């Protein structure tokens, strides 16, 4: 599984991590919806730590599409809360 941390680059992760990443991701969404900012940042750190611990950084001259793209490390709670489209995190 290829994971990109937006702003940082791509990592190759064992497929076994997909489930854990997905769990954390869904928990992060739940935290955002519940307005739990601290919890959100905790989960976010955990996700990035998982990618850093298990992932192998993809070389800069490798051309490969990511299966999953994580928002930037410094994503703010407001950005996470807004849609990641249009006026949100990613411009048109």
**Interface contacts to other proteins, rule CB under 8 A:** 4, 6-9, 21-22, 25-26, 28-29, 32, 60-72, 74, 80, 83-85, 89-91
State which residue, 53 or 70, has the beta carbon closest to other proteins: 70
Smallest gap from residue 88 Cβ to other proteins (A) = 9
How is residue 76 written in tokens?
A: 């703010």
State which residue, 27 or 53, has the beta carbon closest to other proteins: 27
Residue 7 contacts residue 72 (beta carbons within 8 Å): yes
Q: DSSP character for 71?
A: P
3-state helix/strand/coil string of 45-58: HHHHHHHHHHCEEC
Residue 32 contacts residue 24 (beta carbons within 8 Å): no
State which residue, 52 or 90, has the beta carbon closest to other proteins: 90
Smallest gap from residue 39 Cβ to other proteins (A) = 14
């Amino acid at each position: 599984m290829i994971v990109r941390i937006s702003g940082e680059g791509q990592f190759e992760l064992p497929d076994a991590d997909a489930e854990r990443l997905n769990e954390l991701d869904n928990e992060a969404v739940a935290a955002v919806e519940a307005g739990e900012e601290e919890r959100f940042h905790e989960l976010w750190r955990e996700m990035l730590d998982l990618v850093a611990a298990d992932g192998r950084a993809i070389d800069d001259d490798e051309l490969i599409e990511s299966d999953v793209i994580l928002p930037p490390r410094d994503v703010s709670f407001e950005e996470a809360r807004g849609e990641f489209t249009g006026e949100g995190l990613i411009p048109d």
